[in-house]
Amino acid sequence: MKKKTKQELIILVQTAVIEVADAASALVLLLAELKSAPRAEKTTISKVVDEAFSRLKNARVALSDVEKILKDDVD
């Protein structure tokens, strides 16, 4: 694999941030749908979705931190 420039890394991180945000938005919609599901169905699924959403939020923060470091290093 070819070594990436810092600008290329910034673009990759920005793309990942967008993907994570899109996935988080999809999970928010899914959570809203699950909340209207019968109780027996939503309890197990909601926990899994909540955990996934939490992991996505943490990933978004981490990606944003990396993006800031890369941008500061380029400037």
* pLDDT tens profile 18-68: 888 888 888 888 778 777 777 655 566 667 777 887 888 888 888 888 888
Q: Is 20 within 8 Å of 63 (Cβ atoms)?
A: yes
Distance CA 50, CA 62 (A): 19
pLDDT score of 42: 55
| Residue 36 DSSP symbol | T
> Where do the domains of the chain lie?
6-74
Angle separating helix axes 39-74 and 6-35, nearest 10 degrees: 160
Question: How many whole angstroms from its chain centre is CA 45?
Answer: 19
pTM to 2 decimal places: 0.64
